[in-house]
C-alpha cells in the first residue's frame, strides 16, 4: 500500500502556520517531500485572503484590544477568525494522485471524504457544493484549495467550540448586523461539533476520524513523521517574509493625485472590489487596485493585471482586460474576464455621474 505522511504541527502563531503552508506546498511541487495530511491549530488570529485588504475586511481596533493577530494567507478567499476552538486539516498532494486539475471535482471528492470521517464521530455530515461541509443544513467545515504547478494544497477547518460572535466582531461588519438578533441568526447557520455531540471530543479522535477517511478515499496508509531538513529551510525563508508588516500590508494603497473611484460586486466566483485612480481630463485610468474574496492562481495575477491596466484609456479598458486573460493560463474558478470589466465599468460610472452633476 502507498504511504503518505501524517504531520501534526500543533498550536502555533498565525505567521508560523502560513509559512508552513508555503514551505510544504513548495516542497511538494519540487517533489522534495511526500504527499501529506497535516493537522494544525492557531493562536487567536484574523486571517486575510491573499487578495484582501486588512482595512477593508477587519475591525482593526477590536483585534488590537483583544490581542488578535492579523495575518495574510497564501491562498485567496475571505477573511476568517481562527483560534484553538477549531482544528485545521490540510492535504498536500500531486496532481497525478488526483487524476484531475478540476477544482470543483477535487473539492467534491475531498469534502465528501472528510464528511464521511466527521460522520463517524456521531453526526450526519454532508458535502455542500461548492466547498463546504454541513450538518442538518448548518456549516461545520469550510474548505478551499490552491495549485502550485502540479502540487495541490487543500485546506479545511472543523468547528469544535467556535465562538460565532467573536468572529463577527473581528470582521468589519456594520453595527446593525451585530445586534443580538443578528448574532443569534448567525449562530443558527453554523454547527459546533461539541454542541452536536453534547461533549468536546478528544482531538486525537477527531484527527483519527479524518485520517481514516482520507486513507480509505485514496487507498493509502498514513505514517506519522516530522518536517524534512529541506522543508525546514523553506519554512525559515518563508517565515522571514511572512512574519513581517510588509506581508500583512501587501494591499495597502499608495496615495495618488487623481480622484479614486470604488466599486464592489458579487459574482459566482467571489466578491471583487476595484479602486480606480482616474484622470477625467484625459478619460484615462492612471492606476487600478483589485481586492476581494476570490480564488486566483497564480497569485500574482491581480498584480500583473493592475500593471497591465496602468495608464489605459477608458474606451480601451474592456479590450485590454480580455487581451490580458487571453494570453495567460489562470485558474479563477468561475470568475471571468467580463467580471473584471463589469466591476471596473461600475467604478467609472461614478466619474460620469459626477461630471453630469
Which pLDDT tens digit goes with each residue over 274-304? 989 888 888 999 889 899 999 898 888 998 9
Q: Give the per-residue pLDDT at 207.
A: 98
pLDDT bin (cut points 50, 70, 90) of residue 353 is: low
pLDDT bin (cut points 50, 70, 90) of residue 357 is: very low
Average pLDDT over residues 223-251: 96
- Check residues 136 and 334 and name the one with the higher pLDDT: 136
Other Cβ atoms closer than 10 A to 156 = 22
Average pLDDT over residues 200-212: 97
Average pLDDT over residues 251-272: 79
Residue-wise pLDDT for 9-53, tens only, equals 999 999 999 999 999 999 999 999 999 999 999 999 999 999 999
**pTM listed for this prediction:** 0.87
- Check residues 252 and 60 and name the one with the higher pLDDT: 60
Q: Give the per-residue pLDDT at 258.
A: 62
Rounded alpha-carbon distances, angstroms, from residue 45 to 17, 20, 22, 144, 261: 11, 16, 18, 19, 31
The whole-angstrom separation of Cα 113 and Cα 211 is 10
Other Cβ atoms closer than 10 A to 122 = 13
Q: Please provide the size of the chain in residues.
A: 357
For the chain, give the percent of residues with pLDDT over 70.
95
Q: Give the per-residue pLDDT at 82.
A: 97
pLDDT bin (cut points 50, 70, 90) of residue 231 is: very high
| 297 beta partners | 331
The whole-angstrom separation of Cα 24 and Cα 19 is 9
108 pLDDT above the threshold of 80 = yes
Written as one string, the DSSP assignment of 249-318 is TTTPPPP-SS-EEEEEEEETTEEEEEEEEEETTTTEEEEEEEEEEE--BSTTHHHHHHHHTTTEEGGGHH
Radius of gyration of the chain from its Cα atoms, rounded to whole angstroms: 21
pLDDT bin (cut points 50, 70, 90) of residue 255 is: low
Other Cβ atoms closer than 10 A to 221 = 12
Rounded alpha-carbon distances, angstroms, from residue 178 to 41, 163, 169, 226, 287: 27, 14, 8, 43, 35
Residue-wise pLDDT for 138-192, tens only, equals 999 999 998 989 999 999 999 999 999 999 999 988 776 778 888 888 889 999 9
Q: Give the per-residue pLDDT at 352.
A: 63
Among 355, 354, 319, smallest CA distance to 340 is for: 319
| 190 beta partners | 139
Structure-block grid coordinates of residue 85: 476552538
Q: Give the per-residue pLDDT at 354.
A: 55
Q: Give the per-residue pLDDT at 251.
A: 79
For the chain, give the percent of residues with pLDDT over 90.
75
Name every residue whose Cβ is closer than 8 Å to that of residue 120 and which is 6 or more positions away in sequence: 209, 212, 213
Q: Give the per-residue pLDDT at 210.
A: 98
- 242 torsion bin: left (phi>0), alpha (psi -120 to 50), beta (else): alpha
Per the CB < 8 A criterion, the answer to whether 63 and 170 are in contact is yes
Helical ranges in the chain per DSSP H: 14-29, 54-57, 60-65, 95-98, 103-119, 164-170, 180-188, 193-197, 203-218, 229-242, 245-248, 301-308, 317-326, 337-356
pLDDT bin (cut points 50, 70, 90) of residue 257 is: low
355 pLDDT above the threshold of 90 = no
Q: Give the per-residue pLDDT at 172.
A: 87
Average of per-residue pLDDT values in the chain = 92
252 pLDDT above the threshold of 80 = no
- Residue 51 has phi, psi (to 5 degrees) of -95, 15
Amino acid at each position: 500500500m502507498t504511504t503518505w505522511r501524517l504531520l501534526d504541527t500543533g498550536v502555533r502563531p498565525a505567521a508560523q502556520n502560513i509559512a508552513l503552508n508555503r514551505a510544504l506546498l513548495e516542497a511538494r511541487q519540487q517533489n522534495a517531500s511526500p504527499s501529506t495530511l497535516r493537522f494544525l491549530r492557531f493562536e487567536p488570529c484574523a486571517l486575510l485572503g491573499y487578495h484582501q485588504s486588512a482595512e477593508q475586511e477587519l475591525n482593526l481596533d477590536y483585534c488590537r484590544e483583544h490581542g488578535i493577530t492579523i495575518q495574510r494567507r497564501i491562498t485567496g478567499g475571505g477573511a476568517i477568525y481562527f483560534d484553538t476552538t477549531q482544528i485545521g486539516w490540510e492535504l498536500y498532494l500531486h496532481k497525478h494522485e488526483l487524476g484531475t486539475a478540476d477544482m470543483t471535482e477535487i473539492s467534491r471528492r475531498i469534502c465528501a471524504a472528510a464528511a464521511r470521517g466527521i460522520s463517524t464521530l456521531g453526526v450526519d455530515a454532508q458535502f455542500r457544493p461548492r466547498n463546504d461541509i454541513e450538518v442538518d443544513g448548518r456549516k461545520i467545515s469550510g474548505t478551499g484549495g490552491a495549485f502550485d504547478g502540479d502540487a495541490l494544497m487543500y485546506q479545511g477547518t472543523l468547528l469544535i467550540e467556535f465562538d460565532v460572535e467573536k468572529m463577527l466582531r473581528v470582521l468589519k461588519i456594520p453595527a446593525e448586523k451585530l445586534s443580538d438578533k443578528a448574532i443569534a441568526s448567525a449562530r443558527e447557520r453554523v454547527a459546533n461539533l461539541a454542541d452536536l455531540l453534547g461533549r468536546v471530543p478528544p482531538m486525537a479522535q477527531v484527527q483519527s476520524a479524518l485520517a481514516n477517511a482520507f486513507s480509505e478515499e485514496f487507498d493509502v496508509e498514513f505514517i506519522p513523521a516530522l518536517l524534512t531538513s529541506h522543508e525546514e529551510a523553506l519554512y525559515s525563508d518563508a517565515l522571514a517574509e511572512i512574519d513581517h508588516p510588509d506581508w500583512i500590508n501587501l494591499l495597502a494603497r499608495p496615495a495618488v493625485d487623481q480622484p479614486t473611484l470604488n466599486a464592489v460586486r458579487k459574482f459566482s466566483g467571489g466578491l471583487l472590489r476595484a479602486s480606480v485612480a482616474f484622470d477625467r481630463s484625459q478619460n484615462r485610468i492612471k492606476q487600478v487596485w483589485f481586492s476581494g474574496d476570490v480564488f486566483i492562481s497564480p497569485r500574482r495575477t491581480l498584480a500583473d493585471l493592475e500593471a497591465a491596466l496602468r495608464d489605459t484609456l477608458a474606451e480601451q479598458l474592456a479590450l485590454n482586460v480580455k487581451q490580458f486573460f487571453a494570453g495567460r493560463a489562470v485558474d479563477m474558478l468561475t470568475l471571468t474576464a467580463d467580471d473584471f470589466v463589469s466591476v471596473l465599468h461600475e467604478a467609472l460610472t461614478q466619474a460620469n455621474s459626477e461630471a453630469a452633476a
